[in-house]
Structure formats: C-alpha cells, structure tokens
Structure 1
Amino acid sequence: MGDTRQMEPIYEKSFQIRSYEVDMAGRVRPTALLNYLQEAAGDHARLLGVAVRDLIPRGFTWVLSRMHLRLLGTASSREELRVRTWPSSREGRFSCREFEVTAADGRPMALASASFAVLDLATRRPVVIGERLPSYPLLPRRAVEDDFATLPRLAEAETELSFRVGWGELDINRHVNNVVYAAWALETVPAAVAQKCLLADLEIGYRAEALYGETVVARCRQESGGESPVFIHQIVRAGDGVELTRLVSRWRRAG
C-alpha cells in the first residue's frame, strides 16, 4: 500500500465548471459541487491505496454515511474551482473526510464534512475500518463542525415526487450514487423558493440503498419560511416504505 510517511494528508484538485453543470441563472448547481467532492475524495483515496477499486477485490467498499455541505458563494460556467480535501478521523466503523472549495481568485465557495463507512459486500454491513484498511495520514481539523447527530424524520409530507431508478443513476457499487439522492430531494422544493433563493446548507443522512428498477418517493415539508426557508426531506422506497435517506435543506434569498 506504500509508505504512509510519503502520503500527503491534503489533496487538491481543480475543476472547470461545465455549461451543463449550471442552473437557469448560470450558477453552478449544488449537485455539481457534490460530484466534485466525490471525485476529489476518490482521487485522494486512490493515492492512499484505499480507493473503491482497491477494496472491491478484497470484498469491501466505501459507502457514504453522512454529508454536510455549506455553500458560501456562487460561480458560473467556465470558472475554475479548487477542492482541498483530507481525512480528519478514523474511529471504529467510520472515517470523516473534510472539504474546502475556493474559486480561482480565492473566494470561498463551499465547506463540507462527510462520514464514510467500509461495507462488507457479502453481508452489506459496515466493518471496523482499522481491522480492514491500512493506516493513512489524518489531519484532525474539521471543515464543518458537526457531530452527525440523527437528522429529523419527516412525519407528514407536503410534497411528494416519484422516481424510477435507471442505469444512469448507479455507481460502481451497483446502487444509486449518493449525489442522486440530493438531486431527488431538491426537486421537491417549491418553485417559488428554488427560483428566488440559493441553497445555503444541506445535510444528508444515508440509511439504505436503492437499486436498479426500484421506484423511490422523495417527500418534503417546509419547517420555516420567510427569508431563510428550511425544509425536511425524506426519500423512501415505494415498494416497502423503507427509508433510504433523510435530508435538511436551508435556503437564503438570492442577490
């Protein structure tokens, strides 16, 4: 796996925003940012010798358990964004990874913290990371201070949308990619909010996986309005009602 003394705790990667990654107002979509984070994390894991492709032959894989994204600025098509990422902790069944995103001119764009687990592919259960993975350098500094307490469960929805899982939404683990859940959830936000506000903060708790051909239902309820709307989201499997994801989105007035 290499000499960990030669491994860098911080990895940096630049992304140019593509025209298909911006919204109607020309601003980079939150889901595009989430994809950048996922790509940078995967590249760093590969350098550390613990990428998904390293683990699958051994019967394991990484899965995302929690994500907290805090959006600080906006950027447009063709602008360049720089992602800095590092693992901050590795305890028991979870390893936290941090992210900082800046524009080319240094403007802060986003902060994020994520918690990952290593899944046994045979049992579909998380394992103790220290028993299965080699050591890698940690930088014990959080980008977003979050102890990842359980997110609130949605009791009654105001909005519901159904989606069928297609091939294009699956990842190398053969289940729905984590960014897709965020896209489904954000679709349930009322047009009046989505068109006049910017997403400021998104928390996601992943609870179960969705597979090809299944139908899922994205549910949403607004908890507060005014200048800073807050929504509680939930995504469930239509067939048996199993809860797949809980989310909380917070918004701020654009401009």
Structure 2
Amino acid sequence: MEPNIFTKDFPVRYHDLDSCGNLRVATLLNYLQDTAGMHAALLGVSLADLQKLGLTWVLSRIHLLVERYPRAGETVTLRTWPATRQGLFTCREFELCDNHGARVARATTSWAVMKVATRRPVRLDGNLAPYPLVSGRAIDDDFAQLPPFPVAATTEMGFRVLRSDLDMNHHVNNTIYAGWALEAVPDAVAAGSLNELEIAFRAEVRHGDSIMSRCAVTDTEPTTCCLHQIVSQRDGKELARLRTRWKK
C-alpha cells in the first residue's frame, strides 16, 4: 500500500445500478465524495475540523473519465490522494479499479476552503493545516474555463430544490447538479454511454430554489458532446456549467 494514498473498497449493489444495469454516475460521484471525506479526516482537515475554525470545504471542479461501468456483484477499489496545493485551491485525485486491478474510471477534483461567515474563499496557507502531497495526477487538467453555453438549448428541464438535495453546508450536494444535467440530455444521446463528465460549480443553490437545466448538443462525431448550464429560474444566474461526452 502506497503511503499517503487512501484506499477504500465498495461493493456494487443492485440499488446502485441504472436501468442498463451499470453503476449510476451519481453513485460513482458519491464514492469520490465519501473517500475524500474519509482521507481528509485522517489528514486532520475534515469538514468537522474546518468547522471548528469557521471554515468549510467547497468543491470547485470535477473532471471524471469512465472506461467501464461496474455492475452488481463486483467490488471496486477507489484510491485517492491530494496532488497539489497552491493559493486558493488544492487538487485531489481518484482512480477506481475492479477486482482484477484494472482501472475502470479516474477523476481529478479542485477544492477551495471558504470562510462560513463571509461565504468567500480563503488562502490555504495559514488557514488549512499542512498535509503530505503525492505527485501525479489521475487526469492532467489545469481546469481552464469550460465553454460558455450556446444561445439556444436543445432541451430544457426545470427542477425545484428539495430538502433531500442538501448537504452539510445546507446547499445542494455536488452529485445533484450532475443529476439535473443528465436528466436534460436528449433520449437519443442518453441511449449511449457517458464516458466523460466535467463540472464547474459557480454559485450556491439552496432549498426551495427553482432551477433550469439546459442542454445543447454541440458535436456528434466521433463522440457526442453536450454543453450544459444550470441556471436560477428567478434571475437567470448561472449556477453551474458542465460538459459531457457520450459513446454511441
């Protein structure tokens, strides 16, 4: 076992599957969230540790690549490690392997620390306890800005934020944004297999808010690419920007 790399096994259960019998994307994102939290606790920078200082973790970006979706009966192993820490952001990496050791998915994420009282990010140095970094990225991504959403959407779908959508910070959990975006994908595209997901979180969403999930199909060859935008129905404010790629 590599030092400073946290490892966790997850049995894939039937209630974790989508209608095709594959692990749900939301469940996979929950695996990432769970292991990030477990490792942060071991490193002394858990959500509870930060809350004592009037701080909290905020997820800024996700980039996920899926090579194969696990199915029921499999046990998968997720490895995670912090790779970079500079200025306002720290990157955490993930690799998901099957029980034969073959990699089936990987992800990189960017996190910030926010001061609860001001709802503004703070510099990591001087506010966040030091912890060891592991060199090497699961995905080499500098998190450049995602493309702006086109003027016209291919499809749109509205949602109202439920209590069950909220996390411990009392705003919408990151997996919910992905669910909103994927629900708006046209049926002809969703019949394929999602193999890449990128999310840029831009504003908080709270209980009772109404949002619009907008999807635009921008490319169809060699893979289908969709741009997504989550906006407030009240004032049109952009809450998240996403990009997905689909295999036919």
TM-score normalized by the length of structure 1: 0.94
**Deviation readout 1:188-238 (Å, 9 max, x if unpaired):** 11112212x111111110000100000011001000114511000000111
Does residue 183 of the first structure (1) align with residue 179 of the second (2)? yes
Structure 1 residue 133 displacement after superposition: 1.0
Quote the sequence identity (%): 47
> Quick one: which amino acid aligns to residue 9 of structure 1?
N
> Quick one: which amino acid aligns to residue 248 of structure 1?
R
Correspondence for 1:83 among 72, 78, 89: 78
Structure 1 residue 8 displacement after superposition: 4.2
Partner residue in 1 for 2:160: 164
**SS of the counterpart of 1:45?**
helix
Does residue 26 of the first structure (1) align with residue 13 of the second (2)? no
> Quick one: which amino acid aligns to residue 73 of structure 2?
R
211-220 or 150-159, which deviates more: 150-159
Output the CA distance in 2 between the equivalents of 1:108 and 1:137.
24
Output the CA distance in 2 between the equivalents of 1:214 and 1:21.
27
**SS of the counterpart of 2:118?**
coil
Does residue 58 of the first structure (1) align with residue 45 of the second (2)? no
Structure 1 residue 57 displacement after superposition: 2.1
Partner residue in 2 for 1:35: 30
Aligned residue pairs total: 246
**SS of the counterpart of 1:58?**
coil
Output the CA distance in 1 between the equivalents of 2:222 and 2:24.
21
**Deviation readout 1:19-41 (Å, 9 max, x if unpaired):** 12111110111111111011000
Runs of 4+ in 1 over 6 A off after TM superposition: none
**Deviation readout 1:139-183 (Å, 9 max, x if unpaired):** 121000000000011132121111100010100010000011001
Partner residue in 1 for 2:128: 133
Structure 1 residue 107 displacement after superposition: 2.2
> Quick one: which amino acid aligns to residue 216 of structure 1?
I
Is residue 8–residue 137 contact of structure 1 (8 Å, CA) maintained in 2? no
Output the CA distance in 1 between the equivalents of 2:221 and 2:86.
40
Correspondence for 1:93 among 79, 88, 91: 88
> Quick one: which amino acid aligns to residue 98 of structure 1?
E
**SS of the counterpart of 1:137?**
coil
Output the CA distance in 1 between the equivalents of 2:6 and 2:127.
23
Output the CA distance in 1 between the equivalents of 2:222 and 2:74.
28
> Quick one: which amino acid aligns to residue 71 of structure 2?
S
Does residue 247 of the first structure (1) align with residue 242 of the second (2)? yes
Does residue 233 of the first structure (1) align with residue 228 of the second (2)? yes
Output the CA distance in 2 between the equivalents of 1:34 and 1:175.
17
Partner residue in 2 for 1:4: none
Output the CA distance in 2 between the equivalents of 1:169 and 1:17.
23
Partner residue in 2 for 1:173: 169
> Quick one: which amino acid aligns to residue 168 of structure 2?
I
TM-score normalized by the length of structure 2: 0.97
> Quick one: which amino acid aligns to residue 237 of structure 1?
S
26-35 or 93-102, which deviates more: 26-35
Partner residue in 2 for 1:47: 42
66-75 or 223-232, which deviates more: 223-232
Structure 1 residue 78 displacement after superposition: 2.5
Correspondence for 1:200 among 195, 200, 205: 195
Output the CA distance in 1 between the equivalents of 2:182 and 2:222.
18
Output the CA distance in 2 between the equivalents of 1:187 and 1:130.
39
Structure 1 residue 109 displacement after superposition: 1.0
